[in-house]
Amino acid sequence: MTATYPSGTTNGSPETDLLHADASPLARPAASPARIRREPYAGGVPASLPARSADPLTAGGLRVLSVEQWQATATAHRQRIAAYTAPLKDLHSRGVRHPVHDFLFSYYSLTPGALERWHPGAGVVLAAPARPHDDGHAAPTGGPGSGGGGKFYRWVEPCPGLPDGGWTVDVPAFAARRAAMIEFAGRILGLTAQRPARLACFGLHEWAMAYRSEVHGIRHSTVPLRLGPDGTNRVVEDNRIACSHFDAFRFYAPEAVELNELQPTRETQADLEQPGCLHANMDVYKWAYKLMPAVSSDLVADCFELAWRIRTMDMRASPYELTDWGLEPIRIETAEGRAEYVRLQRGFAAEANVLRGRLLAELDTVRVLAAETRTP
DSSP track, 45-102: --SB--SS-SSGGGTT--EEE-HHHHHHHHHHHHHHHHHHHHHHHHHHHTT---TTTT
Q: Which residues contact 66 (CB under 8 A, 6 or more apart)?
A: 41, 45, 46, 127
- Do 151 and 198 fall within a single domain? no
- Do 162 and 184 fall within a single domain? no
Does position 142 have pLDDT exceeding 70, yes or no?
no
Q: How far is CA 99 from CA 3, 93, 177, 244, 315, in A?
A: 12, 15, 36, 24, 9
The better pLDDT of the pair 13, 236 is held by 236
pLDDT at res. 276: 96
- Do 133 and 266 fall within a single domain? no
- The answer to whether residue 239 is domain-embedded is yes
pLDDT at res. 1: 57
- Do 205 and 258 fall within a single domain? yes
Q: Which of 169, 203, 238 is the last residue of a domain?
A: 169
The b/e string for 161-178 (b: 16+ C-beta within 10 A; e otherwise) is: bbbbbbbbbbbbebbeeb
- Structural domain boundaries enclosing 161: 34-169
Q: What is the pLDDT of residues 74-111, one digit of tens each?
A: 999 999 999 999 999 999 999 999 999 999 999 999 99
- Do 99 and 224 fall within a single domain? no
| Number of domains, the chain | 2
- The answer to whether residue 204 is domain-embedded is yes
- Do 128 and 194 fall within a single domain? no
- Do 98 and 200 fall within a single domain? no
| Confidence category of residue 143, pLDDT binned at 50, 70, 90 | low
- Do 160 and 204 fall within a single domain? no
- Do 148 and 185 fall within a single domain? no
Residue pair 31/37 in contact (Cβ under 8 Å)? The answer is yes
Q: What is the pLDDT of residues 107-125, one digit of tens each?
A: 999 999 999 999 999 999 9
- Do 220 and 113 fall within a single domain? no
Lowest mean per-residue pLDDT among 8-12, 88-92, 353-357: 8-12
- Do 125 and 159 fall within a single domain? yes
